[in-house]
Structure 1
Amino acid sequence: MGKPLFTVSLLLLLANLGWTWAVPASSALSSGRRPYRSIFSFGNSYTDTGNNPVIFPENDLFDPVNRPPYGSKFFGRPTGRCSNGRLIIDFIAQRLALPLVPPYNPALAQNESFLQGANFAVMAATTLDAARFHDGSNPGNKYPLNTSLGVQLEWFESLKPSLCGTARGCEKFFGRSLFILGEFGVNDYHDSFEKSMTEITSLVPEVISAISIAIERLITHGAKNFLVPGTIPSGCVPAILHYFAKDDPAEYNSTTGCLNVYNKLGMHHNLMLQEALEKLQDRYPGVTIIYGDLFNPMMEMVESPAKFGFVKDVLTMCCGKPGASLCGDDGANLCEEPSARLFWDDIHLTETAYHYIANRWLRSMYSTATESS
C-alpha cells in the first residue's frame, strides 16, 4: 500500500473537533525551503485567472465577466476571474510566496516566462470533449472552441519545451511544482441537466476516468504533487435553483433550500473521485495527491451563514439576478456588502468564500509538504 490520500475533508473533521493549525502567511517558507517552485493549473471558471477574455473575445455570453464590478474587491478592475476578487488559486499562490498564476495565452507562449507556473483553466471548460455536449453545427454555439481537459493538457505539453530541455531536467522541474487539476465535472453535468438524471449519472465514471488519465499523463512528465478538487453542491447554486426549479417541495432540502437531486449527484462524483485518487496514490507511492473538498466547505457556509458573517438568505447572489440580468450587465443588481455573501454571481463565489476554502486546503497542503520534507 502507498501512503494515504490526504484530504481536506479530514481537516474539516479535525477542525470541528477543535484541532487547528496556525498557518501564517510565511508558513511555506518557515522551514527555509519553499515546498513548490511553480504552479500549473487546469480547470474551469472556478480556477480561470484570465484565459476567458483570450479564448472567447467575441462571445457575448462571457463578456459580462470582463466588465465591472468583476474584480472590484482586490484588483480594482475585471481580470477575467469569475468573482469580485481573488480565487482559491490566487490565495494558494500568495500563501506559497509565488506570483499569481498567469493565464496561458498560446499566442504569447514564446514571449512570456512561465517558469513559476501557468494557468490553462478556461471558463466553461468541460472534462470530456466539448463535442459531447455541443455538436458545433449551430453557428450561434455559445462554446465556439473546445477547451476541455484534454485540450488544456495539449497546451501544457506545447509549453513544456520552453520550461525544461531534458527528461531528467523536466522530472526535477515538475517534481517541485504543484499541479492543480480542477474543478472538473460541474460543466459536464450542468450542460446535461436537461437530460434524465440516469443519463447524467452515467457520465460520472467517464469524467472520473478522464481526470485519472490526466493525472497519470502528467506523472509521465515528472509531476509529483497534485491538488485535485471535487465538485460543488450544484443544488445550492442560484442559477440551478432558478432554471431547474421544481414544483414539489419535497425536491428541496427543508433546512437549506437546496435541490436534493443535484447535490446527490455532486456527492456521488466526489465519492468516486476520492476512490480513484486513492487507487492512484497506491499505484504511485512517490506522488502526493491531495483531494480538495469544495462540497463540504460550501455546505457549511450554506448551513451556518451567520458563522461566516453571511446574510441569512445565503442562496441569493450579490450581483445580477437569474433570468433577469447577468452580473456585469448594465443596470444589474449589486448588493451593498459582497463580503457578506457566499455567491457573487449566479454560480461563482465571492472572494470571501474562496478565501475560506483556500485556507482549508492550505492547511492540508502545508501538513502534507511538512511530512514529505
Structure 2
Amino acid sequence: MNEILLDFFYNRRKKVKKISKNLKKFIFSVALGQLFLSSLPAEASQLVKANSISQLFVFGDSLVDDGNLYDLTNGESPPSSLGYFNGRFSNGKVFVENLPEDLKNNGFGQATLEYNSANNYAIAGSGINYNYFLENSMGLDYQINSFLSAQFSPSSQALGIFSTPSIDPDALYLIAVGSNDYYPDEDGNLSFDVETVVGKITESITQLANAGAKNFAIAGIPDLTIAPALNGISEDEKEFLKNLSRQHNLTLQIALDSLQQEQELDITFLDFNRFLKKSFNNFANIQDACLNLATANQCSDPNDYLFWDDIHLTSYAHTILAQRSVEVYGESNSISVPEPQAVFGLFVVAGVSLLLRNKPK
C-alpha cells in the first residue's frame, strides 16, 4: 500500500507543482479582485459618458415657453389676471426652468450651469414652421434660424459676413414641438402629416449639429386625447388621435436613432407620453382643468390637478416632467459597468478556470 502511494505521488509530482503554481495565481486573482472592489465608489455601477452640460438652449411651443409669447403680445397672452404665472402657460414655472438645477444635482451639469431665459427661443403656439397663436411663421424653423443668426458677432453682421456659426458643443439643445401641428381644424383636417413634422424636427437637429451641437434632448408628444379640451370628442376621434400620437413618437424615435449613429450625436428621447402616464397617481384629478376659462374660477389646490387649463399642465406636473427627463437623460448618457460584486466574481472565476484547466487527469 505504501509503495502504491509513493508511486502515485512520484508520478504526480510535476502536476502537483503545476497545480500549486496555479493555486497561487488563483489566490492572486482573488486578492486582486478584493483590492479592485475596495477601490470602487459605491455608485460605480454607471459612468457618465457625456460631457458635463454647460448651458441649456430651448426651442418649442407652450410646453417650454417661459414668456416669449407674452412679450410678443405685450402681456395679453396668456392673461396674468386668470392666474397664469409671468407669461407661462401654467400656474408656475415650466419644466425647462427646473432642468439645469436637476441636471447639476445629478452630476450631469457643470458647476456654472443655471437656467438662462435668454437661451429660451420657444414661442407658445409654435408648430414646425407656423405659429397658431400669432398666425405667422414663428414656428420651430424660425426659432432655430433666429438662434443661429444670433451666434454671429455684431461686427460680422454689420459687414454682412455670414458663414456657418460655431455654437457651444457642451450645451444641451432641447426641442419640444409637434402637438400643435396635429390638432384638427374646425373641418377635422390636420395641418401636417407625421413624416413632415418629424422631418422638420430632424432637419433642425441637423442644422444645430452642423454648427457644432453634440447633445440633444428631443421631446415626444403626449397622448393628444388626455387634454380636458378633448373630453367631448367621439371614440373614433379619440382612437385616431391616440394612434397619431403613437405614430409620431415611434417615427421620431427611429429618426433620432438614425441621426445619432450617422452623425455621432448624443440624443435623448424624452417620452412625455410615458412620463405623464407614469405620474397619473401623483394627482387626484387627471381629467379636468384646474382653471375654468369660461368662468375664470380656479381649483383650491392646483397640485391636485394634472392640467392647469384645458390643454396646459400645472407647474407641479412640470416639476415631475423635469425629474423624469433627468432620469432618462442619465440612463441615455451613461455606460453600465459591472456591479462591484460582479467584478470581484470575475476575478474569482478567472482564478478557478486556471485550476480546472490544469486539474489532474
TM-score (norm 2): 0.69
| Structure 2 partner of 1:128 | 129
| Structure 2 partner of 1:319 | 291
Matched to 2:143, the amino acid is Q
1:48/1:58 Cα in 2 relative to 1: closer, same or farther (>3 Å)? closer
- Counterparts of 2:298 and 2:258, CA distance in 1: 45
Gaps of 5+ in 2: 1-41, 105-112, 157-161, 337-361
Q: Does 1:189 align with 2:190?
A: no
- Counterparts of 1:67 and 1:92, CA distance in 2: 27
Q: Does 1:270 align with 2:270?
A: no
Query: Considering only CA atoms, is the larger Rg found in Structure 1 or Structure 2?
Result: 2
Runs of 4+ residues over 4 Å off in structure 1: none
CA deviation vs aligned residue, 1:194-244 (integer Å, no higher than 9, x gap): 344xx63961110010001110010011000000000121111011224xx
| Structure 2 partner of 1:145 | 136
Matched to 2:210, the amino acid is T
CA deviation vs aligned residue, 1:291-329 (integer Å, no higher than 9, x gap): 00111122334xxx4x31x22x421000124xx24xxxx
- Counterparts of 1:58 and 1:342, CA distance in 2: 25
Q: Does 1:84 align with 2:91?
A: yes
| Structure 2 partner of 1:10 | none
The question of whether the paired residues in 2 share the 8 Å contact of 1:81 and 1:87 is answered with yes
The question of whether the paired residues in 2 share the 8 Å contact of 1:277 and 1:289 is answered with yes
Other structure's SS at 1:316 match? strand
Report deviation, 1:67: 3.5
Other structure's SS at 1:161 match? coil
Other structure's SS at 1:342 match? strand
| Structure 2 partner of 1:48 | 65
Report deviation, 1:349: 0.7
1:346/1:260 Cα in 2 relative to 1: closer, same or farther (>3 Å)? same
Identical residues among aligned pairs (%): 27
Report deviation, 1:122: 0.3
Gaps of 5+ in 1: 1-21, 24-29, 72-78, 104-117, 134-141, 253-258, 326-331
Q: Does 1:176 align with 2:176?
A: no
Other structure's SS at 1:281 match? helix
Matched to 1:346, the amino acid is D
- Counterparts of 2:224 and 2:54, CA distance in 1: 34
CA deviation vs aligned residue, 1:29-77 (integer Å, no higher than 9, x gap): x99x971111111000000011012222275xx242x445222xxxxxx
Q: Does 1:347 align with 2:319?
A: no
Matched to 1:185, the amino acid is G
The question of whether the paired residues in 2 share the 8 Å contact of 1:92 and 1:358 is answered with yes
Report deviation, 1:277: 0.6
1:146/1:213 Cα in 2 relative to 1: closer, same or farther (>3 Å)? same
Aligned pair partner of 2:272 in 294, 304, 329: 294
Matched to 1:215, the amino acid is I
- Counterparts of 1:151 and 1:143, CA distance in 2: 13
CA deviation vs aligned residue, 1:83-132 (integer Å, no higher than 9, x gap): 111212112122234332304xxxxxxxxxxxxxx0100010111345xx
Report deviation, 1:251: 4.0
The question of whether the paired residues in 2 share the 8 Å contact of 1:128 and 1:207 is answered with no
Aligned pair partner of 2:321 in 353, 357, 360: 357
Q: Does 1:95 align with 2:102?
A: yes
Other structure's SS at 2:297 match? coil
1:365/1:300 Cα in 2 relative to 1: closer, same or farther (>3 Å)? closer
| Structure 1 partner of 2:348 | none
TM-score (norm 1): 0.67
- Counterparts of 2:286 and 2:179, CA distance in 1: 21
Other structure's SS at 1:314 match? strand
- Counterparts of 2:144 and 2:300, CA distance in 1: 40
Aligned pair partner of 1:232 in 214, 222, 228: 222
- Counterparts of 1:274 and 1:194, CA distance in 2: 30
Matched to 1:187, the amino acid is N
Q: Over aligned residues, Cα RMSD in angstroms? A: 3.2
In the alignment of these two chains, the number of paired residues is: 279
1:341/1:179 Cα in 2 relative to 1: closer, same or farther (>3 Å)? same
Matched to 1:124, the amino acid is G
- Counterparts of 1:195 and 1:264, CA distance in 2: 19
- Counterparts of 2:125 and 2:191, CA distance in 1: 20
- Counterparts of 2:328 and 2:135, CA distance in 1: 38
1:368/1:264 Cα in 2 relative to 1: closer, same or farther (>3 Å)? closer
The question of whether the paired residues in 2 share the 8 Å contact of 1:338 and 1:350 is answered with yes
Aligned pair partner of 2:206 in 208, 213, 216: 216
